[in-house]
Amino acid sequence: MTHDLRILVPEDAIRTRVAALAAELATVLNGVSPLVVGLLDGAFVFTADLVRELARRQVPARVTFMSLASYGRSTRSRGTVTVIRDCAPDEVRQRTVLLVDDILDSGATLQFAHARLIAFGAARVITCVLLDKPSRRRVSFTPDFIGFTIPDAFAVGYGLDHAGEYRGLPWVATLPEGTP
Ligand code: 5GP
Ligand code: MG
């Protein structure tokens, strides 16, 4: 099924912002090469662009992924997060980790991932999300870097899906109100 999508963040705005984020991260990292941990599936596009912008700025990075599932969306009340694919504790130990996600919504996923990386012995965890929907926050979690703050609408594209579709769109769009 195709929807009547509205562009929320155009391609050139994303490109400019991702480059600016990489420049800020390069300053904060100050010569340290991070382990980038992207959260699957949604953050695969953002992670891929971000690590290339970091490399352009002489910040080499290792890259790995975690896949988490949050069951808070259906019930709303619990926000239980489970691990589908983990990253290796050995890789994380004593490293500066750059935790990357597509969108911060309730905050449960990023808070869980952050705590897990600390538990694995990360020296430092820097968090970076492309999109932030602060109006939907249920746990208090403030990311270190945010690409764009957006209103409470369902976002797709640039890695984000709706029922498995739209991840390949080069921009971020919103679904019409009331899409099931
Ligand atoms: P949280 O745990 O912060 O509630 O949710 C984070 C995850 O929910 C994101 O990584 C993303 O996978 C999913 N999510 C939250 N809001 C949206 C949205 O507007 N669009 C899409 N496609 N996924 C979302
Ligand atoms: Mg996600």
For residue 62, the domain's CATH number is 3.40.50.2020
pLDDT value for 172? 98
Could you tell me if 42 and 103 are in contact, meaning their C-beta atoms sit under 8 angstroms apart?
A: yes
Would you say the pTM of this structure is higher than 0.75?
Answer: yes
Domain count along the chain: 1
pLDDT value for 75? 46
Cis ω before 41 (30° cut-off from 0): yes
Ligand 2 center to residue 28 CA distance, Å? 24
Q: Is 116 within a domain?
A: yes
Ligand 1 center to residue 30 CA distance, Å? 31
Q: Is 161 within a domain?
A: yes
Q: Is 9 within a domain?
A: yes
Q: Encoding tokens for residue 37?
A: 């941990």
Counting ligand 1 atoms within 8 A of each CB, the residue from 152, 160, 174, 179 with the most, and so the one to mutate, is 160
87 vs 121: CA distance, rounded Å: 12
111 vs 50: CA distance, rounded Å: 21
Q: Is 179 within a domain?
A: no
Please report, in tens digits, the pLDDT of each residue of the chain (180 residues total). Answer: 678 999 999 999 999 999 999 999 999 999 999 999 999 999 999 999 999 999 999 999 999 999 999 875 554 546 789 999 999 999 999 999 999 999 999 999 999 999 999 999 999 999 999 999 999 899 989 999 999 999 999 999 999 999 999 999 999 999 987 777
pLDDT value for 76? 52
Active site residue 105: yes
pLDDT value for 23? 98
Q: Is 180 within a domain?
A: no
Ligand 1 center to residue 153 CA distance, Å? 11
pLDDT value for 73? 56
Q: Is 93 within a domain?
A: yes
Strand partners, 124: 96
Counting ligand 1 atoms within 8 A of each CB, the residue from 68, 103, 141 with the most, and so the one to mutate, is 103
Domain extent, residue 168, equals: 2-174
138 vs 1: CA distance, rounded Å: 31
Q: Encoding tokens for residue 112?
A: 């869980």
Please tell me whether residue 71 adopts helix, strand or coil conformation. Answer: coil
Q: Is 15 within a domain?
A: yes
Q: Is 29 within a domain?
A: yes
102 vs 27: CA distance, rounded Å: 22
